[in-house]
Structure formats: C-alpha cells, structure tokens
Amino acid sequence: MKHILSVLLVAGAVVVAACNESDGASSPLGLTTATDSSTDSIPGRKPGPVASVTLAPESATVNVGDSAGFFADLRDAAGIPARDANVKWSVADPTVARIEGDFGQWVILRALRRGSTTVTARTHGKSGIALLVVDSVPPPPPPGDSVATVEVTPSADTVAAGDSASFSAILRDANGNILSGRAVSWTVSDSSVARIEGAFGQTVVIRAIGAGFSLVTAFSEGKSGSGSMVVP
C-alpha cells in the first residue's frame, strides 16, 4: 500500500509539472498574472500635490465700472498642470474692486474706484498674486453715439472639457472710439459643447462641456461679434 501511495504522489507531481509547462509558467500562483500586467500600457502620470500657483494675467488695468478676469494656473513640483475647483480668491482692497464671481480657477473682479489692489488665489497652502489697476472713469461718449461694432476677444480658444475660459466684448462707435457702460448679452451656439457659467456685462465665463465647436457671441444695441471655443 505504501508503494502504491508513492507511485500516486509521483504521478500527481508529473501531471502538475506538465500543466505548468503547457501554460508557459513555472512561477507560483499569481506571479504569472503580475508579470503579464507589466506589459500593459502605463497611463500618463497624474499631477501630484499643488506646488505653485501663478495668476494670469500678472496685472490688468481697467476703468471704473469695468470687469477683469484672472486665472489661477496650478502646477505640481514637476510642472504638470493640476485642476482643482477648491481655490479661494480675495482682494486686498475691496473698496477698489470686488469679486463679482468666482469659478474655481477663474475669478471676475468689478472695478469700483480709482486705485490699485492685489488679487490672491490660495489652494492647498500655496498662493499666487496679481495686480489690478483701476483707472479714472472714461469720459462718456457724445450724446447719440451708438455701438457700431462688437469684437469678442480672444477670437478663438481651445479648452479641455471641464475647464473654463473668459471672453470679453470690445464695443466701438462708428469712429472707432471704445464704448463702455452698454448692455451686453451673451449666447453660445452649441450648449452641448459649452455653457455660460457667468455673464458680467462685457465679460463672460464659459464652461467647456463636451468635445466639439461652439461660437460665443456678444450682442449690444443690435450689433454682434463672435469668438469660438474648441473642446478637443
């Protein structure tokens, strides 16, 4: 009986070895799977913790009553852009400008009086600062002057889905003089690509929704102008 048991054990070992060879594996259970997984494509490295915050533009000059937009560019220690909606915005002198709307990494400021103030974005213990200069109130246009042209700037922008971008409307009369204090309305041509996140007179913030192309159009006194947003 002992001899029979020994024969069975040897036979079993031979069968196991044959199965391992047929599978092309001689490693313990689970090691083959781990080795195969190393051949998979490695996705791009995700950004690490925020290491720096830089505001764009570094400075802006506007007239009393106008708006200005700033963007917080977040980077990790390797310089890879990071996205984070948890950005806190503040202005050093709220009598010069106030926050009219903030959208994560974007903020819109309204100029209140002549002077200057810094605007600060903070996130994860890091901060970035930009300067806003508010100039004197521009002289009103002569009576009867109306909007002759509307120019949207930037004329085109490419934005990743989930991110935002700001556009501004430049209004001019028939002589090319820049006008301010006029009512402006905004539309997007394809709401499945982009939506209006906030409109502040001559400035608008647009959120990219899905891949495609959308016109961003400003209307004032019967005139209009358009820029475009491309979402890759």
Share of the chain above pLDDT 70, in %: 77
155: DSSP letter: S
Decide which of 5 and 62 is more confident: 62
**Annotated domain spans of the chain:** 52-135, 149-231
Return all residues near 189 (Cβ < 8 A) that are at least 6 apart: 214, 215, 217
Sign of CA dihedral 141, 146, 148, 149: positive
Mean pLDDT, residues 210-215 taken together: 95
Give the list of residues 6+ apart from residue 91 with CB closer than 8 angstroms, or none.
97, 98, 99, 109, 117, 118, 119, 120, 132
Would you say residue 14 has pLDDT above 50?
no
Pairing of strands 59-63, 126-135: parallel
Angle at 55 between CA 52 and CA 60, to 5 degrees: 160
35 or 9, which is more confident: 9
pLDDT confidence of residue 219:
96
* CB 147, CB 172: distance < 8 Å: yes
Evaluated on CA atoms 213, 219, 222, 223, the torsion sign reads negative
DSSP secondary structure, 40-51, as one string: SPPPPPPP-S--
Residues 174, 130 contacting (CB under 8 angstroms): no
What class does CATH assign to 149-231? mainly beta
Indicate the pTM of the whole model: 0.63
pLDDT reported for residue 2: 42
CATH superfamily of the domain spanning 52-135: Immunoglobulins (2.60.40.10)
Name the phi and psi angles at 203, rounded to 5. Answer: -125, 140
pLDDT of 141 reads: 64
177-188 pLDDT, tens digit per residue, is 888 888 899 999
Q: Distance (Å, rounded) from C-alpha 140 to C-alpha 40?
A: 65
Q: Which residues of 66-85 are buried (b: 16+ CB within 10 A; e: fewer)?
A: bbbbbbbebbbeeeeebeee
Q: Do 52-135 and 149-231 show the same overall fold?
A: yes
Task: Please give the average per-residue pLDDT across 154-165, as a whole number.
Answer: 92
Q: Express each pLDDT in 41-82 by its tens digit.
A: 334 567 889 999 999 999 998 888 888 899 999 999 998 888
